[in-house]
Structure 1
Amino acid sequence: MTLSPLLDAPLILQLHVAAAIPAILIGPFVLFRKRVDRWHKRLGYTWVVAMAALAIFGLFIQSHGGLWGHFGPLHGFSILTLWSLWTGIAHARAGRIHAHRATFQGLWYGGIGGAGLMQFLPGRTINQMVFGGPSELGYVVIGLGVCGFAALWYQQHGPAFGKTA
């Protein structure tokens, strides 16, 4: 593992990663802890700010082979993240706690899980940091990550498919 690909990357990418670190670390504590107390609220605000910064910085990262100028498919995660943050906060303020929890947990699975795992695609900076250069082993990390997130989802929600009302 080497930090040189990140240190050699543009400043906007470094800021994006710096915002991702607290979002990754704080998210599970805030989103999956059963007890809702002042720590939930304080750390929740911190997580929202980290996710917003992550999304905003992500919008300014140049995409190679972008579909619309410098915008590529991963930029959609930034827009979805900002919308989800707004919606999740609105749900909490309106007292719709179940919708608030579902929105933010979905954002964590999709934003941190989905978009985060895509950073292990060969050629991406995180892939190069972890493996010392572009590596096909990123696909193994993605596969294991998908299995891990699926297991966590199943533990939290049980079997969601095939249920009848």
Structure 2
Amino acid sequence: MSLSPLLNASLAIQIHAFLAIAAVVLTIAIFTLPRGSTAHRWMGWSWVTLMAIVALSSFGIHEIRMVGPFGPIHILSDFVLFQLVINIRATRTKNIRAHSRGMKLLSLGALVGAGAFTFLPGRIMYQVVAGG
């Protein structure tokens, strides 16, 4: 294992990767807390902020291009930003069931699902894990 491929990547990739990793750790913590507690709400807002920055930072990443400078990561990022708004709105309107389901699906899709693709051969996180 070597962090050098990530540390030698562009600043956008570094921000994107390190904050996504932080979001994974925070996700685990949030899911262990009692729902609606002060800690859950505080960590939840922190998670939303992290995920928004992760999504926004992807617009500085242009490794895979499909339409001009944009690729699949940008479609996912648009979806994440949209879902963050939808899930916050669900909480504010006291639709806790929709909020809970939406956040779980967002965590699973955006962090676990998309994160898995970063470990494919040739990708930076694969190089980190495989030792550069």
Q: How far apart in 1 are the matches of 2:35 and 2:107?
A: 18
Taking the aligned partners of 2:48 and 2:99, their CA distance within structure 1 comes to 12
The 5-angstrom pairing of residues 13-162 of structure 1 reads 13-31=13-31, 33-64=33-64, 66-133=65-132
Letter in 1 for 2:44: G
Identical-residue share of aligned pairs (%): 37
1:75 Cα deviation after fit: 1.9
Moved over 3 A (4+): 31-35
**Partner SS for 2:63:** coil
Deviation at 1:31, TM superposition (A): 3.7
Higher helix share goes to which structure?
Answer: 2
- Distance (Å, rounded) in 2 between the aligned partners of 1:31 and 1:47: 12
TM-score, normalised via structure 1 length: 0.76
Q: Which has the larger radius of gyration?
A: 1
Separation in 1 of the partners of 2:17 and 2:123? 13
What is the deviation of 1:89?
0.2
- Amino acid across the alignment from 2:85: W
- Let me know the Cα RMSD of the aligned residues: 1.3
Deviations 1:29-82 (A, max 9, x none): 224544430000000000000000000001220133x11112111222111110
> Alpha-carbon deviation of 1:99?
0.3
Partner of 1:5: 5
For structure 2, the 5+ residue unaligned runs are none
User: 5+ residue gaps in structure 1?
Assistant: 134-165
Number of residue equivalences: 132
Between 1 and 2, higher relative CO (CA 8 Å, sep ≥ 6) is seen in 2
